[in-house]
Chain A
């Protein structure tokens, strides 16, 4: 069974600051590394995902950095906003497809004014 370690457990960032969340996994036979954002009472929503043929992917204020040799990937939120306050989950496929995911334990982000 895939193990996924996510850190930190919680994070408080001032508005305009950079939020960084890290994820480490065990196995390498995967082709897809997503980050999900979840607001209270809602299901997780895909935020951004990367495939390991690239080391970085940027979409707006959100960037994924991928380090295959270290088996780690991270989420960077630039210019963090109060509306970014949510729980963030990294996920790794259980098999070689994107549809059976092992999730990290989550990071609760709070962006203060």
Chain B
């Protein structure tokens, strides 16, 4: 069984640029969630994708956007990067079943984004 993978592992951008992060979900999972983890903090929920549509969003501005593809992989896009966007970006996959019951989330290793 293949786990959650993310690319790239590290990324350095400058303020105002745009970035795309990628995630491949675990085999058999149909839901992908993205989290931002600032240094020394817990992960914060950005949004979730299910059946290629956004299925819930945390307190993040519209310049954070995403996609989910038919193979359940996902992208996180961040436009107009700000210094405070520097963080570890985590992708988690899970399986959303009938009646909204959701199985455990499994996290990838994350992408470390540094904005200069």
Q: Which residues in A have some Cβ–Cβ distance to B below 8 Å? A: 1, 6, 32, 34, 36, 41-46, 49, 89, 91, 94-106
**CB contact under 8 A between A103 and B42, given known A43-B90, A43-B110, A97-B96:** yes
Interface size on B, residues (CB 8 A): 29
Contact assessment for B56 and A94 in the assembled complex, using a CB-CB cutoff below 8 Å: yes
Measured CA separation A71–B62 after assembly (Å): 33
| Chain B 14-48 per-residue mask, 1 if CB under 8 angstroms from chain A, else 0 | 00000000000000000101010000111111001
Query: B72 at interface (Cβ–Cβ under 8 A)?
Result: no
Which partner residue on chain B sits nearest A31 by CB separation? Answer: B101
Interface majority SS (helix, strand, loop, mixed), chain A: loop
Q: Which residues in B have some Cβ–Cβ distance to A below 8 Å? A: 4, 31, 33, 35, 40-45, 48, 56, 58-59, 90, 92, 94, 96, 100-110
Contact assessment for A43 and B42 in the assembled complex, using a CB-CB cutoff below 8 Å: no
Contact assessment for B102 and A99 in the assembled complex, using a CB-CB cutoff below 8 Å: yes
Task: Determine the chain B residues whose CB is within 8 A of the CB of A46 once the complex forms.
Answer: 104-106
Contact assessment for A43 and B108 in the assembled complex, using a CB-CB cutoff below 8 Å: yes
**CB contact under 8 A between A97 and B101, given known A43-B109, A44-B90, A45-B107:** yes
Contact assessment for A99 and B90 in the assembled complex, using a CB-CB cutoff below 8 Å: no
Which partner residue on chain B sits nearest A94 by CB separation? Answer: B45
Task: Determine the chain B residues whose CB is within 8 A of the CB of A42 once the complex forms.
Answer: 109-110
Question: Closest CB-CB distance, A11 to chain B, in whole Å?
Answer: 15
Which partner residue on chain B sits nearest A98 by CB separation? Answer: B102
